[in-house]
Amino acid sequence: MAPLNRKLARDILHRWMQVLAIALVMSCGVSTIVAAVGAYRSLSETRDAFYERYRFGTVFATATKAPRGLQHSLSGIEGVSAVELRVVKSIVIDVEGMAEPAGGVAISLPSGRDAAVNGLYLRSGRWPDPERSEIAVLESFALANSIV
């Protein structure tokens, strides 16, 4: 054994508690990094699965007027997997029991089919009937205003 290696072994034996403390701190750091990377991957996979399941759009555009023929033209663009034309309008909703009318955004739903882009998740109740003046509201709004 070389003299420097003997000195190193002797120093480690004399300072074994310091060596143990350093090893514990390093193992805590490594375990923290492993946990953080695992949580990041899990959140990324969950987000990706949610976006895929409900066909969340990645590009949005607004237009004052958009004829139905535009949907076919947009679908032909390379890289576009789905196009959904919708009417979006700011609205005021009178809700019984509220001191002031509620503001909201009305977004049209495709009739008789599921949306090709930005599908909705219905937690309770039923889909609005296109023959009647009905709307779907956020669960948080319904609970806050005792609509359910």
| Residues paired with residue 48 on neighbouring β-strands, in sequence order | none
Q: Is residue 33 part of a domain?
A: yes
Show the domain range for 42: 3-53
The answer to whether residue 122 is domain-embedded is no
Q: What single-letter DSSP state applies at residue 129? A: P
Residue-wise pLDDT tens for the chain (148 aa)?
798 989 989 988 899 999 999 999 999 999 999 999 999 999 999 999 988 888 888 888 888 888 888 888 888 888 888 888 888 889 898 877 788 888 888 888 887 677 788 888 888 888 888 788 777 888 888 888 777 6
Rg of the chain's alpha carbons, rounded to an integer? 29
Q: Which residue do the tokens 């492993």 mark? A: 34
- Domains: count for the chain: 1
> Is 17 part of a structural domain of the chain?
yes
Whether 18 is in a domain gets the answer yes
Q: DSSP label at 13?
A: H
Q: Which residue has the tokens 């109740």?
A: 125
Residue 43 lies in a domain: yes
Residue 30, domain member (yes or no): yes
Does any domain span residue 91?
Answer: no
The reply to whether 133 falls in a domain is no
What pLDDT score does 41 carry?
Answer: 98
- Paired residues of 103 in beta bridges: 92
3-state secondary structure of 131: coil
Contact 117, 82 (CB under 8 A): yes
3-state secondary structure of 148: coil
Contact 117, 60 (CB under 8 A): no
DSSP state of 127: P
What is the structure's pLDDT at 148?
Answer: 67
**Considering all CA atoms of the chain, what is the largest pairwise distance in Å, rounded to the nearest integer?**
93
The rounded Cα 21 to chain-centroid distance in angstroms is 41
Name residue 90's beta-bridge partners: 105
Give me the pLDDT at residue 80, please.
85
- The model's pTM is 0.56
DSSP string, 104-118: EEEE---TTS--SSS
